[in-house]
């Protein structure tokens, strides 16, 4: 029997919720009773409360999405920062604008969305921020230098912000997945994926539902004493 959580009466924003991990997160939150607004470049799940097209590298688009969300929501209780862009290749072969974009989406975008939503989350009695980082941010992965740097920044941002908000009801945590079975990973090609599986002690990719289940717990009242934490989801691959 699976563990269930009741998030009825909770309003949540999920960036990158149109597909992959973000879509699974949005669906799990809705299944727990939350009203969910998906912010993404692609449409969100049809059953979501609202699906808003937004480029999180554009502060003006974030502000517009927030204003639209607040026309239907009395407040915001949960923010899941899932929007991300992988980028793969040797660092010296990446054009400047390519690795800048990786940083803009994964780190700067996460920070800007959080900055704009924070006043509303502060007013919530059960505020939750969950940032999606990566195993790459903990260990640094070859051919993912910019992505690793951005993910490490997300981890440090999570820890610092959690301390700033420790005197509020807002809990800030981070999940650092290893390779998860999504189009983002499988699109790297079978040879790369096979290498990822071989490096995993569990000898498989993770699933989007496994990540979403952890997000659900982090957004629930059961998570009351965890803040500034980084939760590994690498199938045992992470060394710390």
- Catalytically active residues are 147
Bridge partners of 40, per DSSP, are 53
Q: If you search the block for the tokens 């929501």, which residue do you land on?
A: 73
Question: How far is Cα 226 from Cα 162, in angstroms, rounded to an integer?
Answer: 10
Half-sphere exposure for 219 (CA within 13 Å, toward CB): 37
Using alpha carbons, select from 218, 205, 207, 231 the residue that is nearest to residue 134: 231
Element (H, E) at 192: helix 190-199
Residue 71 in 3-state DSSP? Answer: coil
């Amino acid at each position: 029997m699976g563990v269930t959580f009741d998030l009825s009466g909770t309003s949540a924003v999920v960036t990158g919720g149109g597909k992959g991990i973000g879509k699974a997160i949005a669906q799990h939150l809705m299944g727990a009773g939350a009203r969910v607004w998906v912010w993404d470049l692609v449409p969100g799940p049809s059953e979501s409360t609202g699906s808003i097209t937004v480029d999180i590298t554009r502060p003006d688009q974030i502000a517009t999405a927030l204003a639209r969300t607040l026309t239907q929501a009395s407040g915001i209780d949960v923010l899941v920062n899932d929007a991300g862009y992988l980028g793969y290749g040797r660092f010296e072969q990446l054009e400047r604008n390519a690795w800048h974009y990786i940083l803009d989406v994964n780190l700067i975008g996460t920070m800007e969305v959080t900055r704009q939503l924070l006043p509303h989350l502060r007013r919530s009695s059960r505020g939750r921020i969950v940032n999606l980082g990566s195993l790459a941010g903990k260990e640094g992965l070859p051919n993912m230098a910019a992505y690793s740097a951005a993910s490490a920044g997300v981890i440090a941002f999570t820890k610092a912000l959690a301390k700033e908000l420790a005197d509020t009801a807002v809990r800030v945590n981070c999940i650092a997945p290893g390779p998860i079975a999504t189009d983002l990973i499988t699109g790297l090609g079978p040879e790369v994926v096979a290498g990822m599986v071989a490096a995993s002690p569990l000898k498989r990719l993770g699933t989007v539902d496994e990540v979403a289940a952890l997000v659900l717990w982090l957004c629930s009242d059961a998570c009351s004493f965890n803040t500034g934490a980084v939760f590994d989801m690498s199938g045992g691959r992470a060394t710390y």
